[in-house]
């Protein structure tokens, strides 16, 4: 069984885990999504740390809706807007650049 590697921010808080090449984070949209620009942000150092442990993808679960947002870590680091709103440097990737899976939406049966 593969162990999950904990990823901490610079303050020492566990903010996610790396498992099978994916950096998993759980957040609440109402509290953690940026509104201007409309984006999901992640601690830059934590992204780099996760990549150093072999993660190539970031997957964010919105615990309020159950929706999952996925993006390559490289895209978040390269295309993300650098922001610091009092919690250290973060990369904010606009929502349009994420792949979203929402369990509340039914798939079309073709």
Nearest by Cα to 79 from 107, 110, 106, 42: 42
Give the pLDDT confidence of 69-98 residue by residue, as tens digits: 999 999 999 999 999 988 889 999 999 999
| pLDDT in the model for residue 55 | 98
CA 39/CA 81 separation, integer angstroms: 9
At residue 87, the 3 state secondary structure works out as: coil
Each residue's pLDDT tens digit, 13-47: 999 999 999 999 999 999 999 998 899 999 999 99
Confidence band for 2, pLDDT divided at 50, 70 and 90 = low
Cis peptide before 37 (omega within 30 of 0): yes
Q: Can you give the pTM of this predicted structure? A: 0.89
Q: Is the pLDDT of residue 104 over 80?
A: no
């Amino acid at each position: 069984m593969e162990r999950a590697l904990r990823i901490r921010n610079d303050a020492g808080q566990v903010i996610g885990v790396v498992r099978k090449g994916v950096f998993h984070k759980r957040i609440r949209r109402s509290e953690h999504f940026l509104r201007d620009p409309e984006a999901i942000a992640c601690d830059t150092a934590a992204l780099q740390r996760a990549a150093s442990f072999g993660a190539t993808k970031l997957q964010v679960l919105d615990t309020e809706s159950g929706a999952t947002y996925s993006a390559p870590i490289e895209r978040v680091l390269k295309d993300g807007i650098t922001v610091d709103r009092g919690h250290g440097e973060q990369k904010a990737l606009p929502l349009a650049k994420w792949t979203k899976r929402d369990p509340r939406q039914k798939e079309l049966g073709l």
